[in-house]
Structure 1
Amino acid sequence: MGLLELPAELLLLLPVFLNAERDISSLSRACSRLHLLLNPWLYRYNSRYCASSSLLWAAKNGSKATAQLSIREGGDVRITDDIGWTPLTWAAQNGHVDLVKLLLETGEVDVESKDAEGRTILFWAAANGHAAVVQLLIERGSVDMSSIDTVGWTVLFWPAANGHEAVVKMIIETGRVDVDCKDTEGRTPLYMAAARGHEKVVRLLVQQGRASVDSKDYQGRSLLYWPAVNGYKAVERVLLEAEIPHVNTTLVV
């Protein structure tokens, strides 16, 4: 009797005698029958002995099928990698909305878990402009919009600084953020948007967010300082239209 003619019960004993995940993987890929039998076993092994690395990989790369199989075979949805990121962090950071939904539906993930810099999954989704993920998290209603990271940035700072207008609009419309919150250097979300030349975000924060145009950082630089230095004329016009005081454009020494 050939190997592949053995009953399934006996074939399923083969991985027990293999000591490495790569060997089990190679065996499962030998033919379609072994793959069907051993692939779930492989994911079970990964969950138990390899820190659910298959689930982390799936979250990073947006493979819903791999994530589903890993979870079904015991994958730990709260596992963290060597930088403290969970599968949910990776899925949110990379904008994989289907993976975020899948992980949330397990009911076992912590949407407020923070990495070493104090940033939640909402921070990373917003920072990278992933509007669908941000909207999903906001609609849950339970995410903390006032959370602050280690440099004093709230979730509004990131999309403002990176020029993600749609995400800034979503966050403002919740009415649950302080648009004039200052970081450890005295900068506001409007300050960062202006400093980096994001005209549309500046206009949105001023007009819809009612952000203060009188704000200065802790070195005395007004909102016009960096746009003037960097030549962001369009941003300067928006701020001047908002009647920002000219006296604050110089550095206080």
Structure 2
Amino acid sequence: MPMIYGEGGREAFFRLQEQIMRTTRDDSILAWGLNNESSMSNFQLFIGEGIFIHGDILAASPSDFADSGQIVAREQASNPLHSLNIYGGTLRAYLPLLTIDSGETLGLLSCGPKSDTKKFAAIPLAKIQSAVANEYVRPRGSPSRLQPLPTSDASPELIHIKKDGQNHILATNQQYMFYDVDLFAKLGIKVLDVFPSICWDDQLALISQTGTDQILIRARQSKEQSLDFVIVIDGHRSDSPMDQLYCVFTCDQKTVLSEIAGKFQREALEVFQLTSASNGSLTLRIKLEPMEGNIISIIPEAMASPPHCTINATMALENLDTILEPTRFLWERKKNEVEMKDLSQRVEECKSQLGDIEEKRETVEKEIKLLEARKSALVEEEQSTIQEVRRLEEKQGDIRKRQTENFRHVVIVQKRLEEFYNAKSCGDGWTPFRLAMETSDIDLMNVLFDEPTDILAEDKRWTRWIIASIKGDVNEIRSLLATDETGLEHKDGIFGRTPLSWAIMKGHRDVAKLLLDTNRVDVRSKDNYGQTPIRWALDAGHHEIVRLMLLRDKPAYLRKFRGHMDLVRVRR
């Protein structure tokens, strides 16, 4: 079939396939790109992410049929003889549709391998939202496959498959760039690397721009020892895809993209504005063209003559400032001319506003004078307040000294009262120590205990045990048991009583039970007056507490206090 003037080989091959479909219903013409491994991993991945590029339903070149030579047509009784035809950019076909376990949809063709009659050729399909009923696309990068004949009959149905889906995408919440591998291959170059690599899907030839400041693409010519091409694209999204800022450089093959990344900032790209570069044997120009949705197509072109300037990024890294200087000078001259016009207009506007500004300045100066006067008054007030603070701090110091002296007198009084109560055979009268514990005055207790009277051991934490036991604070006792049990058997320095003794004296049964449950308290511990916890309980008539202690004591001690048990029974 002769080519039409101006028509490329790709378009001519499409036209040839359309002509074949008009004269025969052999749908083996769709079984191109056959992959015996039936790999659909790329298709599955991008369907799951909600985005993929529509491919062509027809083969782009004869090489796509390289693995389809063994495919022959087959007739099925259940498949009526409907011819394939293309109308309005859509291929109309009657195909049985099969959904396999992975969720993919396959269209079964009336053809298969000559050597295996139990297998049929199938093409991957993806349904799209369209005004046309049952409209599908063939995802790009999804090969045909050999599929066993399904156990259940699948009736053919009329579907529409978009013929050319190169400019269509699905799902659009990100910005992508797409490069056609075949277009690069025609120029003898191949995309080898992208930085950052996480943005690149080399199987689908897709590069994501989301969340990336700069993207670098390395393309290498098939010739050995030639310089690589590096496309540097600014990652900031612009209002229009046509406003993308990018430059084309060369670099040594050993230079990794991470060494170049970030070295050519946006200012440098604006200065260079180089959309083409030459490596000595090829002059490559790059164009960015918008596709449907949020995809930009990277189009490579070979130029007949080299550009006026090509920058080797590897060499430029060492002398970047020197290279930028002359280009920046010319660029700034043009920029300054534009700025001068803008400044001239602004000068005239400013002159017209000058009178208003002067009037406002005078008003501000009056306000400043008022503020200065206010400032002076505040400075005087500040100095006066500072002096008052110093005076009060000195007074606080005097009170602290007197307070220390008072605490010392309290210790002396405490000792005297202790001797007095002991001499008079009295209980613990309203002594300073008891007053401190009843009112939770830790400061007073610390002063009492800090004196060289051996009233307090080195660890003051046990005072919390004493105060909690006197008040019957169950929650405080639980908190102390959960963190530290070292104060269980500590005695106060005046009465020599443990927390258990104080809890029993006050009749706090719950606290006494908590302390007894630890099995670490001594119910026979004597205070400075020879009293044990069990004796305090008996004297106070706390029969339940006595029973609790006796039941938890050792058998030998139970026998020793059998008389106490009889006393409890009599009193009950």
TM-score using structure 1 length:
0.45
- Relative to its length, the structure with more helix (as a share) is 1
TM-score using structure 2 length:
0.23
- Relative to its length, the structure with more strand (as a share) is 2
Higher-Rg structure is 2
